[in-house]
Amino acid sequence: MDNNLSLKNKKILIISLISFFIVFLDQLTKYLILKNFNINETVPIINNVFHLTLIKNTGAGFGILKNFNFLLIMISIAVIGIIFYYFKKIKENQLLLQVLAAFILGGALGNLIDRARLGYVVDFLDFRIWPVFNIADSFVTVGIIGLIVYLWKKG
């Protein structure tokens, strides 16, 4: 019984720590960008390949649902709720699923904080061939792709 309790606590600890780290990293980078850049300012890191460009994203990925902040907040809360619901179904020995859930949770929380606090999401990673995005977006994307691959291989 004690071993099951410690495994359950380990699962909670893993997901919590990874999610917290993602939110911290995401919010720190956004804070630094907001403090040092003006809107639409761009600084080349690798000219014509990778720039830091500050934009206010009032929509979701690829600019869809612009100015639907309340709806996007509700969607974020729903996604977070789904993660917590399925969290119970992740077994203690399924470390990869725990990490992927933490990636999605941390990313969703990072962008939710922006939407609730600022009314938009701070985006700044600009690869010039893709819409500008942020750390939270990166973790959500990796988490979802990883989950799809995991489920595909499992099925």
Structure tokens at 26: 């995401």
**Choosing from 26, 114, 123, 126, which is the catalytic residue?**
123
Over residues 120-149, the pLDDT tens digits come to: 999 999 999 999 999 999 999 999 999 999
**Choosing from 26, 114, 126, 137, which is the catalytic residue?**
137
* DSSP 8-state symbol, 133: B
Determine whether 137 is an active site residue.
Answer: yes
| H helix count then E strand count, the chain | 4, 3
Determine whether 123 is an active site residue.
Answer: yes
Q: At what angle do helices 135-154 and 2-36 cross, to 10 degrees?
A: 140
pLDDT confidence of residue 129: 95
pLDDT band at 88; cut points 50, 70, 90: confident
pLDDT confidence of residue 5: 58
Which backbone phi and psi does 145 adopt, to 5 degrees? Answer: -60, -45
pTM above 0.85, yes or no: yes
State the Cα–Cα distance between residues 100 and 107, nearest whole angstrom: 11
pLDDT confidence of residue 1: 46
Instruction: With a cut of 80, say whether residue 93 has pLDDT above it.
Output: yes
- Mean of all residue pLDDT scores within the chain: 93
Structure tokens at 155: 């099925």
